[in-house]
Amino acid sequence: MTNSTDRHVPVLFQQAIDFLRVRAGGTILDCTLGLAGHAEGIARLLGPQGHLIGFDRDSEALELARARLDRVCEELGSQAPQITFVAEAFSSVAGHVQPASLDGLLADFGVSSLQFDEARRGFSFQADGPLDMRMDTRSGPTAAQVVNEENEHELANLIYEYGEERRSRRIARAIVRGRPVATTGQLARLVASAAPPMKQERIHPATRTFQALRIYVNRELDEIRALFEAAPKLLKPSGRLVVISFHSLEDRIAKDSLREGAQKGIWEILTRKPAVAGEEEMERNPRSRSAKLRAAERTGKAGNSIPEV
């Protein structure tokens, strides 16, 4: 029987494993466990003395990942690593992970396959569903609450800031006039009516608005900034940080954070230019087309300052 974890194709899998430099007996943190595509590969390399720590604030994804990794550990038997699961946002890693205990830290930002493909989660307009978009469905406002309760000015600002959408004011006006908005399909139609596709643009006109709402609802950029503040303190000297981003806002934070850390002597940057998917992977997994991987190594020079978390 095939389930969603079996269908899951992790993006930039081999590049991530190679840059992490996973070794037997190491301790690796996967901050965005998702459906455990990367984590399975890591677990198979860690050995019985190794430790894999997996974070995900999406409890549904975490349970599927747990089931997948349980099967892997059963297969590996005495060669299986220790695995710890944490049902929290990765911004809280400093409260769960000991300082200078990690050999590697992986973060695969953005939406998991489970979230994107399930209409009931409300992340995509490909199929009509309730306008939710929360990665952690236990708390926080839904996207429906945002579009129905924010004023037009605030809506326009968040669509512009987090979606980089130039037609944000026009779109916000259409949303306010079309209230109440309850489903992904309804929102997508309102956006398309206010901002039809531009010439030579391949993406759906609602793509940027949906991205903006998702980032806003889940505080994604704040989460990423918090992770970059915590990472140097959690990694051992020579420990590796690997991050995969899917749009310019994420990648800009990664690029700037690593550059600033390198100037302070905290990081040695391993990817002067981000690693990207090859033609074969892009053909096999279209979602990899926008993926960018950046990697850095925690330096071990005497006197390096470690930022307070």
Q: What is the CATH number of domain 4-114+220-298?
A: 3.40.50.150
Please state the rounded mean pLDDT for residues 216-243: 97
Phi, psi of 9 (to 5 degrees): -115, 105
Strand order in the sheet with 102-108: 82-86, 51-55, 27-30, 102-108, 235-245, 292-298, 267-269
pLDDT tens sequence across 140-168: 899 999 999 999 999 999 999 999 999 99
Two tokens at 101? 């205990």
pLDDT category at 201 given cuts 50, 70, 90 is: confident
Torsion region of 98: left, alpha or beta (phi above 0 gives left; psi -120 to 50 gives alpha): beta
Domain residue extents for the chain: 4-114+220-298, 121-218
Structural contact between residues 209 and 159, judged by C-beta atoms closer than 8 angstroms: yes
* Cα within 13 Å of Cα(210), Cβ side: 27
pLDDT category at 301 given cuts 50, 70, 90 is: low
Report pLDDT for 306: 42
- Residue 139: C-alpha distances to residues 93, 123, 225, 226 (Å): 19, 16, 21, 19
d(CA 79, CA 238): 25
Report pLDDT for 113: 74
pLDDT at 26 over 50: yes
Please state the rounded mean pLDDT for residues 80-84: 98
pLDDT at 186 over 90: yes
pLDDT at 1 over 70: no
Two tokens at 21? 């430099």
Two tokens at 36? 């455990």
Does the reported pTM lie above 0.85? yes
Match 């309102």 to its residue by tokens.
190
pLDDT tens sequence across 106-150: 999 978 777 778 888 989 998 899 999 999 998 889 999 999 999
CATH topology of domain 121-218: DNA polymerase; domain 1 (1.10.150)
Kind of pairing between the strands at 102-108 and 27-30: parallel
296 has which bridge partners?
Answer: 241, 269
pLDDT category at 251 given cuts 50, 70, 90 is: very high
pLDDT at 217 over 80: yes
Mean pLDDT of the chain, nearest integer: 92
pLDDT at 53 over 90: yes
Q: Which positions ≥6 away from 239 have C-beta within 8 Å?
A: 102, 103, 104, 105, 297, 298
Least confident of 6-10, 79-83, 204-208, 261-265: 6-10
Instruction: Give kind and range of the element (H or E) at residue 156.
Output: helix 152-163
pLDDT at 224 over 60: yes
Report pLDDT for 182: 96
pLDDT at 307 over 70: no
Report pLDDT for 308: 39
Report pLDDT for 152: 98
Structural contact between residues 271 and 260, judged by C-beta atoms closer than 8 angstroms: no
Report pLDDT for 8: 59
Please state the rounded mean pLDDT for residues 249-272: 97
